[in-house]
Chains A and B, each alone.
Chain A
């Protein structure tokens, strides 16, 4: 084995020999060194996000709602991968919708999160690392954002239910002697208001999809995405 190290005149072993009765070391021993409070410490600090802060203005980030759109490869488990990753890192997913795109084998995931800016940035970067994620980014502020909700209310006053649903551009999709089911789409505020208005009839059940979104005009929804038609490549990689 270590022939070269321990044979020959290597001082190693004899050195160790000379220490077989160890002397007190000449270097300062742990007990003789200046303690934590005897040392000078810098003034500066960082905040929870690791950002250096001016001691006077302790900047903490406010959280905000962000809509993140990801173009993904449609392979098994991709949804579990994305949601697992985001939740493991303690980011709260408000909603998550998935559906096919114009391209075979690609899906779009639309995720709404409530996070600080560094948190949103981190979610995007973590998602981008996943192999099936082709492209990911926050959807521009003025994007078209819409949600579908199905609402089942008690059918005591069908005319009034109908009136309210007209007010919110809803559509009755099922009506029976006991319940009426209405379908609504719109942005979050519209849907929240509608639910508030239906409340008085007694809401029996509710199913919301969570928002899905597309960027306006020719801005790509996920970064680098090209407007594609069926079968055409849609990304920068292709």
Chain B
């Protein structure tokens, strides 16, 4: 193995191209013209020029010794930098920014502790296939490997949780590396990339302007699926009796919600989504059975259990979706559309693999199906399940406030384009169950990694994204648990400083509720370490941060508090004291059969 650091494109190739052009047109060519990267004098300036040329508008991060040259170069840049309270906040904010804006999010940190603090957010983005670029400072090259002050092997630490990571080799190439990493993060199946930037590399002089950013060869796959395979899948759809669409997060990442809607509606095929796929298909639509999986709706899980043709698009068949593989869609032929060939037959065998971009392949399928299947009887059956197993909860007068009611109150008070972010736990499930999502990129949550504390920094990132897109009117609501909120609430200080209009609804049950629910179901109610009666008063903490703080204990206080919080121009925190004993239902026990979900607690 050679010791040369990442050198994305061979310089020889480029100069060859340039000279060929020059002879052809007899004019000096300017390789930067098209992307507009300006002249640079240091590696750090080259990094920033590459980011600007690639279209990055916003960065989230925290300063520090090894990254200082890059920050200094940002001083004169058009890129907005949002200083976060903690690097974990930076990586979640960048992730959420990317989800909402449909662009790679950008986060930055110094070496050592700065870089390790980014790790959770990078891993989160990796699990959810979110495009994100992380830039980390590193000790000067000559000290690398010597356990120098604030040194961490960031490339080593983040290798399993990035799509690819780079150790920047020199000031002349670092800009190209950064541009490539940015493009790579969104090419094909999106994911986080990282560039580790030794301080000497960013400090060194260079006059080499980075070229136009392109992903490395072979990483931007053909968007169309093999036409023959499409025809075969179309025949399977035509002859299906009980077809079901399963739209995953990939539909949203591919901006394929329109194609997905057209496809399902053209043939009257009932639709389920995965949890990351929420918003790809409007939940108010008659065809929609909402999301399937551990806490998905009973009717989605029944439809998946009984389907004979599962049209799965952009999903990786996570175990929280499938439950036990042996009982997942046991009678279905599976058509699996995915941009990533490695997802095909990874967890569930695909009878009809269609490798390509979700939108393009759905268009191909729509064109290839000659006569749609007759789904009337099947749709009726799904409708019956919908009647029999509605999402519901008990609200007798004398009970403490139900968390589900709070979610519904916010849903009713806001528009369809409202962005919801969450922490992880029961509140996350209620926020996904009791809110009717109708648009993509409005549901921003931590799915694959399940990161408590995702909600507040994600709300910051989502708000900044909406504002950057000129969508200041959209609401951003974060549903958080008391436990999750406490993990990253310091980012509230950022929201106050930046005057970000977000509303945080803490569904405070004085438990880490999801754990308490499992302890009650599977550990004889032994509440080991799940009892959070020591929670601070969040409304007062909010005020201490300079935000609006409200507290709600009863049903009749909900609507006025919701209104006040939404109307407040700036960050507002409402501490809803909700029924501590409320459980998330339905529930498929871990590894169980989806069709055997528990609709009530005594069925667990």
Residue positions of A touching B, CB distance < 8 A? 1-6, 10-13, 15-17, 19-25, 27-31, 33-37, 39, 41-52, 74-81, 84-85, 88, 98, 105, 107, 118, 121-122, 125-126, 128-131, 134, 237
Contact = CB atoms under 8 A, between A and B. Distances in A.
Interface in B379-399: 388-390, 392-397
B396 A35 contact: no
Interface stretch (B75-83, B365-373, B507-515, B551-559): B551-559
Given A35-B603, A98-B1, A125-B344, 20 more contacts: A1-B569, A2-B567, A4-B415, A6-B413, A11-B412, A15-B412, A16-B408, A16-B413, A19-B405, A27-B392, A30-B392, A39-B302, A41-B596, A44-B331, A46-B325, A107-B1, A118-B345, A125-B342, A129-B342, A237-B217
Given A13-B559, A76-B5, A36 B388 contact: no
B414 A50 contact: no
B188 to A, nearest CB: 9
A5 B409 contact: no
Given A22-B405, A24-B394, A121 B585 contact: no
Interface in B1-53: 1-7
A68 B568 CA distance: 61
B349 interface: yes
A109 to B, nearest CB: 10
B152 to A, nearest CB: 15
B470 interface: no
B390 A46 contact: no
Contact of B2 (A20, A23, A75): A75
A69 B177 CA distance: 28
B85 interface: no
A6 B1 CA distance: 64
B475 interface: yes
A42 B331 contact: yes
B239 interface: no
B467 interface: no
B306 interface: yes
A47 B351 CA distance: 14
Given A1-B501, A125-B342, A42 B160 contact: no
A102 to B, nearest CB: 15
SS of B interface (majority): loop
B129 to A, nearest CB: 12
B397 A21 contact: yes
10 contacts: A2-B418, A10-B413, A22-B555, A35-B599, A44-B331, A46-B326, A76-B6, A79-B1, A107-B1, A237-B217
Contacts of A27: 390, 392
Contact of A31 (B327, B402, B602): B602
A51 B317 CA distance: 13
A1 B395 contact: no
Nearest to A131: B164
A51 B349 contact: yes
B159 interface: yes
Interface centre among A10, A50, A51, A122 (most CB of B within 10 A): A50
A78 B1 contact: yes
A13 B563 contact: yes
B396 A33 contact: no
A128 B159 contact: no
A24 B325 CA distance: 37
B594 to A, nearest CB: 10
Interface of B: 1-7, 155-156, 159-160, 163-164, 167, 184, 216-219, 298, 302, 305-306, 317, 325-333, 340-342, 344-349, 351, 388-390, 392-397, 402, 405, 408-409, 412-415, 418, 473, 475, 501, 503, 555-556, 558-559, 562-563, 566-569, 585-586, 593, 595-603
B345 to A, nearest CB: 6
Nearest to B341: A125
A74 B326 contact: no
Contacts of B348: 46, 50
Nearest to B600: A30
B331 A49 contact: no
A85 B160 contact: yes
Contacts of B389: 28, 33
Contacts of B164: 130-131
A121 B567 contact: no
Given A1-B567, A5-B475, A52-B330, A76 B3 contact: yes
Nearest first, the 8 A-B pairs at minimum CB distance are: A22-B395, A44-B330, A50-B348, A125-B342, A36-B596, A30-B600, A12-B412, A20-B556
B407 to A, nearest CB: 11
B475 A75 contact: no
A34 B388 contact: yes
Contact of B595 (A17, A31, A41): A41
Nearest to B2: A74
B330 A46 contact: yes
A13 B345 CA distance: 48
A2 B414 contact: yes
Contacts of A44: 330-331
Given A12-B413, A35-B599, A36-B597, A76 B1 contact: yes
Given A1-B501, A50-B317, A76-B167, A28 B395 contact: no
Contacts of B601: 30
Contact of B475 (A1, A29, A34, A134): A1
Interface centre among B347, B394, B408 (most CB of A within 10 A): B394
Nearest to B472: A1
A28 B317 contact: no
A3 B340 CA distance: 43
Nearest to B217: A237
Contacts of B342: 122, 125-126, 128-129
Nearest to B563: A6
B328 A33 contact: no
A55 to B, nearest CB: 10
Contacts of A3: 567
Given A1-B501, A131-B219, A16 B559 contact: yes
A11 B184 CA distance: 46
Contact of B305 (A10, A41, A107): A41
A35 B156 CA distance: 49
A123 to B, nearest CB: 10
Contact of B395 (A16, A23, A85, A126): A23
Contacts of A122: 342, 345-346
A216 B415 CA distance: 65
Contact of B349 (A50, A131, A237): A50
Contacts of B599: 30, 33-35
B415 A5 contact: yes
Nearest to B347: A50
